Amino acid sequence: MRAALAVVSALLVATLAACGMLPTGTGTGTGTGTGAEAGAGAGGSSQEQSRVARSSTPSVTTPAPSVTGSPSASAGQETAEPTSCPHGELIPAVEIPAVHADPVHIPEATIGGEKIPAATIPGVDIPAQRIPAQCTEIKPAPGGCLGAASIPPVTIPAVEIPGVEIPGVEAGGIKLDPVRAEAVSAEAVHAGGVSTPEVCQIKPKDGGLVPYVIRPYIIRPFVIRPFVIRPYIVRPHACNDQGECIPSVEVPSVEARAVEVKAVEIRAAELKAYEVGKSEVLEGEDTIAFSLDADVLFDFDSAAVKPAAAAELRRIARRIAERASPDATIRIDGHTDSQGEDAYNVTLSRKRAQAVLDWLTAKGGLDRSRLEATGYGETRPTRPNTAEEGRAKNRRVVISTDT
């Protein structure tokens, strides 16, 4: 019966292989095992195949703390490790080297007619680990605002070097006590993420000075997992009265190096104070923004630029061309008051921002590839929407760029 099952299994495997239904590198399994064993020889379960595939692919997720020092499996989906950071700075990866020590073999011996069996003192193998690269982030923000900034958390995983013992000997007049080195370890070290929210300038209700705002300096501090070492141990050489001897046994020391993750910081940024006048210009740290009342640019409920706005838009286009950094994005942000439905306001603000973008491209001489239009609707007011004066100031288009 067992032979018949083996033959059937082999024929099934050959058929699947001919149809291209077996994974690459899968054995055909010609042994005389049971049906379950034959199935395992023909590729095994999908769970087993998945486990093997994962074990052959290096993990790029942040290692979780581990008391053994070996990389722990990711509980969730793996995420790609960044190589560049569009809105921040790259925090380099940290490599943690492997720890290895060979086993120590103690040969069999005979003392006073008593046989002392051979023994092997286990070696140490802690695989190399990697703390993946990360990104700081400063989120894009509209004119007159400093974007939210954040630094992600980081963890240096724990490590443990297991204890070891050289066995004692008591035979033929020789007595040697066991010699032991205890396990040594370093706990995981964690630095929490830090962040600060977006901050924006608020125009005074009756005009005058718009006060400066500052996004404060933030830092994720330096962290270190200390060096640990399991010390060298030796069981000494010894002889009895008959001249029979036990050679010495040495187990070398084993160490795990210190691991350091450097401090990461995002510097403070400031938007300077300015006087609200005929031209509303918002200048900050390496930025310039022009805020135009929508009522100057558009008729009620319209996204067509008024001819009367041409002179002001030309002036802004010249200033942008003079002040913008080479290849800097020029952002056009549309805003509304809180009257009407949210979805309608977002659509209107987007259309108005796009209309200004089209005007600056067609008549202002700016490169379309550098312009970007966004509609925020009523979500970013600079004044309370409780009175018409405030609502009029919230209906605006802001043109900004890096300088």
- Note the residue count of the chain: 403
User: Domains, the chain, ranges and CATH?
Assistant: 2-55 (no CATH), 90-266 (no CATH), 278-402 (3.30.1330.60)
Q: How would residue 372 be classed by pLDDT, with cut points 50, 70 and 90? A: very high
Least confident of 67-76, 206-215, 273-282: 67-76
Answer with the residue of higher pLDDT: 287 or 374.
374
Answer with the residue of higher pLDDT: 186 or 67.
186
- pLDDT higher than 70, residue 18: no
Give the pLDDT score at 392. 83
Beta-bridge partner residues of 318: none
Least confident of 141-150, 251-260, 305-314, 340-349: 305-314
Which residues contact residue 213 at a Cβ distance below 8 angstroms, ignoring those fewer than 6 apart? 146, 199, 200, 201, 270, 271
- pLDDT higher than 60, residue 337: yes
Give the pLDDT score at 63. 30
Torsion angle of the four alpha carbons 378, 384, 388, 391, in this order, in degrees rounded to the nearest 10: -30
Answer with the residue of higher pLDDT: 69 or 154.
154
Give the pLDDT score at 309. 81
Which of 5-9, 108-112, 199-203, 257-261 reaches the highest mean pLDDT?
257-261
- pLDDT higher than 70, residue 5: no
Contact 278, 385 (CB under 8 A): no
Global pTM reads: 0.52
End-to-end CA distance of the chain: 84
Beta-bridge partner residues of 154: 191
Q: How would residue 207 be classed by pLDDT, with cut points 50, 70 and 90? A: low
Percent of the chain predicted with pLDDT > 90: 47
Q: How would residue 310 be classed by pLDDT, with cut points 50, 70 and 90? A: confident
Both tokens of 344, joined, read 């309608």
Read off the pLDDT of each residue in 191-210 and give the average, rounded to a whole number: 81
Give the pLDDT score at 299. 84
- pLDDT higher than 90, residue 306: no
Give the pLDDT score at 92. 96
* Average pLDDT taken over every residue of the chain: 80
- One-letter amino acid at 31 equals G
Q: How would residue 313 be classed by pLDDT, with cut points 50, 70 and 90? A: confident
| Tokens 């006048």, residue located | 277
Contact 400, 290 (CB under 8 A): yes
DSSP state at residue 320: H
- pLDDT higher than 50, residue 33: no
Other CB atoms within a 10 A radius of the CB of residue 259 amount to: 21
CA distances from 186 to 65, 223, 251, 254, 387 (A): 11, 13, 21, 14, 62
Other CB atoms within a 10 A radius of the CB of residue 154 amount to: 20
Q: Where are the alpha helices (DSSP H) in 212-293?
A: none
Q: How would residue 39 be classed by pLDDT, with cut points 50, 70 and 90? A: very low
Q: How would residue 319 be classed by pLDDT, with cut points 50, 70 and 90? A: confident
- One-letter amino acid at 296 equals V
Which residues contact residue 172 at a Cβ distance below 8 angstroms, ignoring those fewer than 6 apart? 111, 112, 113, 114, 240, 242, 244
- One-letter amino acid at 116 equals I
C-alpha 355/C-alpha 303 separation (Å) is 7
Burial level of 69, CB count in 10 A (0-12/13-18/19+)? buried
- pLDDT higher than 70, residue 25: no
